[in-house]
Amino acid sequence: MTDAADLAYATIESLAPRIASGELSPVDLTEAQLARIGALDGPLKSYATVMADSALAEARQAAAEIAAGDLRGPLHGIPIAVKDLCYTAGVPTMGGTKVLEDFRPDFDSTVVSRLRDAGAVLLGKLNLTEGAMAGYNRARQVPVNPWAADRWTGVSSSGSGVATAAGLCYASLGSDTGGSIRGPSASCGIVGLKPTWGRVSRYGVLDLAQSLDHVGPMCRSTWDCAVVLEAMAGSDPNDPTTLPEPAPAMLERIDGGVAGLRIGFDEHYASDDVAPEVAQAVAASVEVLAGLGAEIVPVQLPDFGDYMADWPTLCSVEALHAHQAFYPERADDYGNWFGAWLARGAQVTAVEYADACIRREELRGRLQRVFAEIDMLACPAQQALAHQVTEDMMYDDVPGEFNWGRLQYTAPWDMNRAPTLTLPNGWHDGLPIALQLVGPLGSEAVLCRAGHAFEQATDFMRHPAL
Tell me what the mean pLDDT of segment 101-111 comes to.
98
How crowded is the C-beta side of 107, counted as CA atoms within 13 Å? Answer: 8
pLDDT category at 1 given cuts 50, 70, 90 is very low
Q: Which CATH number fits domain 3-457: 1.20.1080.10, 3.90.1300.10, 3.30.590.20, 3.40.50.2300?
A: 3.90.1300.10
Whether 196 has a pLDDT exceeding 90, the answer reads yes
Query: In terms of Cα–Cα distance, which of 123, 124, 114 is closest to 202?
Result: 114
Concerning whether 211 is annotated as a catalytic residue, the answer is no
pLDDT digit string (tens) for 252-270? 999 999 999 999 999 999 9
Q: Which of 113, 156, 175, 187 is catalytic?
A: 156
Note whether 116 and 58 are within 8 A (CB): yes
Q: 25, 109, 180, 201: which is the annotated catalytic residue?
A: 180
pTM of the predicted protein model: 0.97
CB 29 within 8 A of CB 59: yes
Going by the DSSP 8-state scheme, the letter that residue 91 receives in this structure is S
Residue 306 confidence (pLDDT):
80
Q: pLDDT tier at 404 (50, 70, 90 boundaries)?
A: low
- Write the pLDDT tens digit of every residue in 380-401: 999 999 999 999 989 987 766 5
Q: How far is residue 322's CA from residue 123's CA, in Å, rounded to a whole number?
A: 27
Please tell me the predicted confidence (pLDDT) of residue 401.
Answer: 59
Largest distance between two CA atoms of the chain: 62
Do the bridges between strand 214-219 and strand 191-194 make them parallel or antiparallel, or are there none, so unpaired? antiparallel
Region 69-94 average pLDDT: 98
Q: CA–CA separation, 98 vs 155, rounded Å? A: 18
Domain-by-domain residue ranges, the chain?
3-457
- Could you read off the pLDDT of 325-384 as tens digits, one per residue? 999 999 999 999 999 999 999 999 999 999 999 999 999 999 999 999 999 999 999 999
> Which helix (H) or strand (E) segment is 223 a member of?
helix 222-232
Confidence (pLDDT) at 242: 98
Regarding beta strands 420-428 and 431-438, do their DSSP bridges make them parallel or antiparallel, or are they unpaired?
antiparallel
Cβ neighbors of 78 (< 8 A, separation 6 or more) are: 12, 15, 16, 19, 26, 29, 119, 120, 121, 170, 171
Is 180 catalytic? The answer is: yes
The DSSP secondary-structure symbol of 289 reads H
CB 34 within 8 A of CB 123: yes
| In contact, 299 and 370? CB cutoff 8 Å | yes
Distance CA 225, CA 75 (A): 11
pLDDT of residue 354: 98
Average pLDDT over residues 267-279: 96
Mean pLDDT for the stretch of residues 49-69: 98
Indicate whether 13 pLDDT > 80: yes
Sheet holding 262-265, edge to edge: 47-50, 121-126, 79-83, 172-176, 214-219, 191-194, 420-428, 431-438, 376-380, 262-265, 295-298
* Catalytic site residue from 25, 45, 46, 83: 83
Gyration radius (Cα) of the chain, Å:
21
Quick check: is 187 catalytic? no
Query: What average pLDDT is seen over the chain?
Result: 96
pLDDT at 192 over 50: yes
294-322 per-position pLDDT tens digit: 999 999 999 998 888 899 999 999 999 99
* Residue 2 in this model has a pLDDT that exceeds 70: no
